[in-house]
Amino acid sequence: MTCYIRDAMSTDLNALLEIEAQSFESDKISRRSFKRYLQSEHSRLLVAEIDQQVVGYGLIWLHKGTRLARIYSLAVLPSARGKHVAEHILLELENLAKLHKRFYIRLEVATQNIAAISLYEKLGYRVFGRYTAYYADSSDALRMQKRIRASLEQGMHLTAPWFKQTTEFTCGPASLIMAMSALDKNMANWAQQELQIWREATTIFMTSGHGGCHPFGLALAAHKRGFNSEIIVNTDSPLFMDSVRDADKKVVIERTHNEFLSECTNTEIPIIYQDLTLEWLIEQLQEKRAVIVLISTYRFDGKKAPHWVLVTGIDDECVYVHDPDVNEPVQTDLDCQHLPVAKEAFQTMAAFGSQRLKAAVVVANRH
């Protein structure tokens, strides 16, 4: 018996749906979704054949702008189980991830699926979390991860909860909530303050829509809630001026900037005018401080939008971030947690606009 692994084709759709029907009672992938995965540039769908019959498949998502791959689904017909088909598919998915320069593969598996868990553990996957009521039947899932590229496994890490922004414009408050929650595990009501923080910290710098958050405003919001904060920015000019052309709006932006600056001065929040470097980030993590960083989302979604994320770690190859924005339907909450971004890519991301603005807010406990 030879198990042959190949790329899936549109002619495999009926076979894929039959595997779904025989493998899962709920959370099944639809024909429409299979078609989308076949066409997406960021997903790869493989099938396994025995005697020219499709007996299994594996679906992997290659996250844009990161070093993370995620196995979305892996299934084998009951009649073909026990023949190492799933192992063959999984190893080929890992090879694909390596070819696309991914460092990590993550997956979720039902806690009662002992056979699958045993296979993943055999191949080097390790449990790093649990997701309660993950599936449609309310059963739990284990979160498993494997590093597929060797590493020195050295670095600094911040233990932080993940929080999903509830609007398209509150990435700053969501990131600040994660930072504050990482430092004070006893405070559970900050999530309820998402819009309040946005009202305190927002500026107006986009051509339309709601304003985003200014680093000075976020630092003031953290200070108001009992934390020490400081700002790192690589310019002393008013921020976000290059994002609009309207002269009247530029006046509003400058006024908002100067008002925030005056408040920071009055509350003695340090503003440090320097470049944001990886060495500096490592120092902050070593001091048990939380850092939220302004990035451009271009590498994530092809858009040049300003966006706030929380840095959760740095090792020899990657910077890890909690991204509060879930790009549905292709992403889940799990895809946005501890995202590994290659260091050189992060340094490019962490510079917004034509002026290459670099900004970060440091949050620390008061002693």
Residues 259, 277: Cα–Cα separation, whole Å: 28
Reply yes or no on whether the pLDDT at 150 is more than 90. no
Q: Convert the pLDDT of each residue in 21-37 to its tens digit.
A: 999 888 899 999 999 99
Q: Convert the pLDDT of each residue in 217-258 to its tens digit.
A: 999 999 999 999 999 999 999 888 776 677 887 888 888 899
pLDDT for 201: 92
- Greater confidence (135 vs 266) lies with 266
* Domain locations along the chain: 3-150, 156-365
Please, which residues have CB within 8 angstroms of residue 299's CB and are 6 or more apart in sequence?
64, 65, 345, 348, 349
> Average model confidence (pLDDT) for the chain?
88
- Greater confidence (8 vs 299) lies with 8
Edge-to-edge strands, sheet with 68-76? 3-7, 43-50, 53-62, 68-76, 104-110, 141-147, 126-131
Amino acid occupying residue 135: Y
Joined together, the tokens standing for residue 335 give: 């895809």
- Greater confidence (26 vs 162) lies with 162
pLDDT for 211: 62
Phi, psi angles (nearest 5°) of residue 261:
-60, -45
145 Cα distance to chain centroid: 15
Q: Convert the pLDDT of each residue in 64-76 to its tens digit.
A: 778 889 999 999 9
- 58-67, 69-78, 114-123: segment of lowest average pLDDT: 58-67
Reply yes or no on whether the pLDDT at 208 is more than 60. no
Q: How far is CA 241 from CA 46, 154, 169, 234, in A?
A: 48, 39, 18, 14
Give the fold, CATH level 3, of 156-365. Cathepsin B; Chain A (3.90.70)
Class of domain 3-150: alpha beta
pLDDT for 301: 67
Q: What percent of the chain has pLDDT over 90?
A: 59
